[in-house]
Chain A
Amino acid sequence: GESVGLHLPTLSVQEGDNSIINCAYSNSASDYFIWYKQESGKGPQFIIDIRSNMDKRQGQRVTVLLNKTVKHLSLQIAATQPGDSAVYFCAENGQNFVFGPGTRLSVLP
């Protein structure tokens, strides 16, 4: 069935460094992917999305890479800031949106 998994459930980075959060998905038919950021006690917040006809998309300080060959998705955050500390979820759009288990990003001063 559909599933989305995340590598590295926790990630610690120094402030100012770049962060890379990875995600593996299993449904090769999925054609739309999203990254969400969830801060403690809040709902997930949309960061960036990508369609399967693209392999890279950039936003403000964030880049999403999609490798359909190996069914892998990554989120790159440039110049990580303390405010980036949160749990990050990838999601794929199959029959319904399926969310990965999440990666907790901690930014060290």
Chain B
Amino acid sequence: GAVVSQHPSRVICKSGTSVKIECRSLDFQATTMFWYRQFPKKSLMLMATSNEGSKATYEQGVEKDKFLINHASLTLSTLTVTSAHPEDSSFYICSASISSYNSPLHFGNGTRLTVT
């Protein structure tokens, strides 16, 4: 149980284009999902908390107009990287938790974004 699916696993796009990444909870409902970014050989950095039916909460320093998050249902959150630039190239990972209290985060397998 507690499977989180993320798609696509890899994407290459040109500078200036937008890319959408999907995160789905397959066997549970997630009112909250989390989006992380990970640089090579570094830890996970929380970008934003995605809340079903309401606006996402962004961490300090993360541009909300650049990284658009939509959580339209209890099983789907999307992250759109708008007007992507090479510095946006990174590994993006989503996660969700079955319960909001003392419950582990379950992660998707990440999306490797390369902007050329």
Contact surface of A with B, Cβ cutoff 8 Å: 31-32, 34, 36, 41-46, 49, 51, 89, 91, 93, 96-97, 99-102
A48 to B6, CA, bound (A): 22
A45 to B105, CA, bound (A): 9
Q: A43-B6, A43-B93, A44-B93 in contact; A49/B104 too (CB < 8 A)?
A: yes
Q: In the complex, are the beta carbons of B104 and A101 less than 8 A apart?
A: no
**In this complex, what residue of A is CB-closest to B4?**
A43
Describe A's contact surface by its main secondary structure.
strand
Contact surface of B with A, Cβ cutoff 8 Å: 4, 6, 34, 42-44, 46, 49, 93, 95, 102, 104-110, 112
A59 to chain B, nearest CB (A): 13
Q: In the complex, are the beta carbons of B107 and A44 less than 8 A apart?
A: yes
A104 to chain B, nearest CB (A): 8
B51 to chain A, nearest CB (A): 13
**In this complex, what residue of A is CB-closest to B10?**
A41
B68 to chain A, nearest CB (A): 20
- B110 cross-chain contacts in A, Cβ below 8 A: 41-43
- A42 cross-chain contacts in B, Cβ below 8 A: 109-110
Q: In the complex, are the beta carbons of A44 and B44 less than 8 A apart?
A: yes
What 8 A-B pairs have minimum CB-CB distances, sorted nearest first? A43-B107, A32-B102, A43-B109, A99-B44, A99-B43, A43-B110, A101-B43, A46-B104
